[in-house]
């Protein structure tokens, strides 16, 4: 991100400088426009974060109630029968399986902060089964490929940002996000399974020392808070839940505009009701989660200032127009407008960068959150992951140097997510173009 940030600023400055030397003297000079754009973006980023505080506090408070009531464990038990088939090389009772299930469950519910610790723990446990230290196993590659594209039922963060930007339909991205993540996750699994045949786990050009095999590995149980309860629901229950999720796609596509107004009020009633049934002290737990939301909203202010100022410089200098115009003319033909192209390109590289671009787009009065472009960038943010960040953090936790087919599978999933997001937004919101 350091290189990306510096490159955006330097390119913007150089382009503005060249335009300044060619300036005829009419109106504001390119450098004046550049400086004014920087100041306006810095002020706007803080205003955006302040507007986000209340909405973020609301959603994180609700998710805290759901988590305290055991919703995460319920989702984990639903996933268990599927997981043992996806990862046949990992014993069903191994701690790695429990950590992976909890990681996926947190991602499904939009609990990104909870997903990362589970993911790192899963990688550490998978490394215990790794006979070739420093090289990614098939299970590691599949786990991270799914992680970069995992199905999201509740993209609460993006909904909060859209609400703060004044959207009249902040939850309208639920069907588009669900469709895009189902497609990207399917591609991630298929590509990981196919590509593992062509990447050897023990290349001759690397000196790799076999260590403990699966049979020799000592199983270390997860702490009680990290382990899913029980052995999982019967397979038919998991299959039924998966069928319901898949059935939600056509339902939300056909009746999305009718359902959308009910989602946020219904979500609050359902989650608080779930917590009450589970005898959670819903008020105290909600407030505790809302505190986390306040802290998150305040903590992102420096990131918003940095990226929004850099993006504003890139736009005000004319550099963005020079880059996007030729590419955007091509991508616009397939439903990816020039304004959304930077978002699609930057999302796998930088989460904060893509976040800033999305925020700047949906807060642009000329575009707005409820335009076709606003829905598209919101869907891209909610249905894709920062691939290189995930690989760096998770593989770095266990000192994996040889990624094998992980990156190829993850980038294939990213591409599938972008294509699927564009396609579903064209179907649902194409009339807004």
The pLDDT tens digits for 357-395 are 888 888 888 888 999 999 999 998 877 777 877 787 788
Q: Which residue has the higher pLDDT, 184 or 70?
A: 184
| Number of domains the chain is built from | 1
Paired tokens of 333? 């033909």
Residue 57 lies in a domain: yes
pLDDT of 376: 93
CB neighbours (10 Å) of residue 6?
A: 11
Share of the chain above pLDDT 70, in %: 82
Out of 126-140, 223-237, 382-396, pick the least confident.
Answer: 223-237
Residue 108 lies in a domain: yes
Q: Which residue has the higher pLDDT, 87 or 202?
A: 87
The pLDDT tens digits for 3-50 are 767 888 899 899 999 988 888 777 788 898 899 988 988 887 777 677
pLDDT of 40: 85
Instruction: Give the whole-angstrom CA distance, residue 248 versus residue 338.
Output: 31
Helix (H, G, I), strand (E, B) or coil at 162: helix
Residue 47 lies in a domain: yes
pLDDT of 397: 78
Whether the pLDDT of residue 87 is over 50: the answer is yes
Query: What separation, in Å, do the N-terminal and C-terminal C-alpha atoms of the chain show?
Result: 32
Whether the pLDDT of residue 224 is over 50: the answer is no
Instruction: Give the whole-angstrom CA distance, residue 395 versus residue 311.
Output: 30
Q: How far is CA 364 from the centre of its chain?
A: 22
| Beta-ladder partners of 402 | 135
Which pLDDT band, with edges at 50, 70 and 90, does 190 fall under?
very high
Mean pLDDT, the chain, integer: 79
Domain coverage including residue 124: 30-201+210-432
The CA-based angle 107-44-12, given to 5 degrees, is: 90
Which pLDDT band, with edges at 50, 70 and 90, does 206 fall under?
very low
pLDDT of 290: 84
Residue 178 lies in a domain: yes
Query: What does each C-alpha distance from 90 to 71, 123, 220 come to in angstroms?
Result: 25, 12, 14
What does the pLDDT average to over 78-95? Answer: 82
Q: What is the 3-state secondary structure (H, E, C) of 338-383?
A: CCCHHHHHHCCCCHHHHHHHHHHHHCCCCCCCCCHHHHHHHHHHHH
Whether the pLDDT of residue 350 is over 70: the answer is no
Residue 214 lies in a domain: yes
Instruction: Give the whole-angstrom CA distance, residue 318 versus residue 34.
Output: 9
Residue 359 lies in a domain: yes
Which pLDDT band, with edges at 50, 70 and 90, does 303 fall under?
low
pLDDT of 375: 92
The pLDDT tens digits for 137-167 are 999 999 999 988 867 777 777 887 888 888 8
Residue 5 lies in a domain: no
- Using the 8-state DSSP alphabet, how is residue 225 labeled? G
What does the pLDDT average to over 225-233? Answer: 50
Which pLDDT band, with edges at 50, 70 and 90, does 331 fall under?
confident
pLDDT of 257: 59
pLDDT of 163: 83
Nearest one of 356, 345, 347, 351 to 305, comparing CA atoms: 356
Which pLDDT band, with edges at 50, 70 and 90, does 231 fall under?
low
What does the pLDDT average to over 194-219? Answer: 54
| Beta-ladder partners of 210 | 132
Residue 159 lies in a domain: yes
pLDDT of 432: 77
């Amino acid at each position: 991100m350091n290189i990306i940030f510096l490159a955006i600023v330097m390119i913007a400055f150089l382009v503005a400088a060249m335009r300044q030397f060619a300036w005829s003297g009419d109106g504001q000079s390119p450098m004046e426009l550049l400086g004014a754009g920087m100041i306006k973006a810095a002020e706007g980023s803080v205003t955006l974060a302040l507007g986000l505080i209340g909405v973020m506090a609301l959603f994180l408070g609700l998710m805290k109630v759901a988590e305290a009531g055991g919703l995460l464990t319920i989702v984990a038990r639903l996933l268990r029968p599927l997981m043992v088939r996806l990862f046949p090389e990992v014993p069903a009772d191994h701690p790695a399986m429990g950590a992976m299930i909890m990681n996926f469950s947190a991602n499904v519910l939009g609990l990104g902060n909870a997903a990362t610790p589970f993911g790192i723990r899963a990688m550490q446990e998978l490394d215990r089964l790794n006979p070739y230290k420093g090289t990614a196993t098939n299970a590691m590659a599949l786990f991270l490929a799914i992680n970069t594209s995992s199905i999201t039922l509740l993209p609460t963060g993006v909904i909060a940002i859209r609400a703060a930007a004044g959207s009249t339909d902040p939850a309208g991205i639920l069907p588009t996000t669900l469709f895009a993540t189902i497609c990207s996750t399917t591609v991630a699994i298929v590509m990981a399974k196919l590509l593992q045949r062509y990447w050897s786990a023990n290349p001759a050009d690397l000196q790799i020392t076999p260590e403990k095999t699966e049979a020799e590995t000592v199983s270390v149980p997860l702490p009680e808070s990290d382990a899913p309860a029980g052995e999982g629901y019967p397979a038919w229950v998991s299959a039924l839940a998966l069928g319901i999720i898949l059935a939600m796609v056509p339902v939300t596509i056909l009746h999305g505009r009718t359902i959308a107004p009910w989602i946020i009020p219904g979500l609050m009633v359902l989650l608080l009701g779930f917590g009450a049934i589970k005898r959670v002290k819903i008020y105290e737990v909600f407030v505790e989660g809302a505190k986390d939301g306040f802290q998150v909203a305040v903590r992102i202010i420096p990131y918003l200032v940095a990226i929004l100022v850099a993006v504003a410089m890139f736009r005000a200098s004319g550099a963005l127009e020079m880059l996007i115009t030729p590419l955007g003319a091509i991508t616009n033909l397939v439903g990816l407008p020039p304004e959304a192209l930077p978002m699609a390109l930057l999302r796998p590289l930088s989460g904060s960068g893509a976040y800033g671009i999305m925020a700047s787009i949906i807060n642009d009065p000329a575009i707005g959150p409820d335009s076709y472009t606003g829905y598209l960038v919101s869907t891209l943010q909610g249905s894709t992951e920062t691939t290189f960040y995930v690989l760096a953090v998770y593989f770095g936790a266990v000192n994996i140097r040889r990624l094998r087919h992980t990156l190829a599978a993850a980038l294939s999933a990213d591409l599938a997510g972008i294509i699927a997001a564009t396609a579903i937004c064209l179907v649902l919101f194409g009339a807004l173009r």
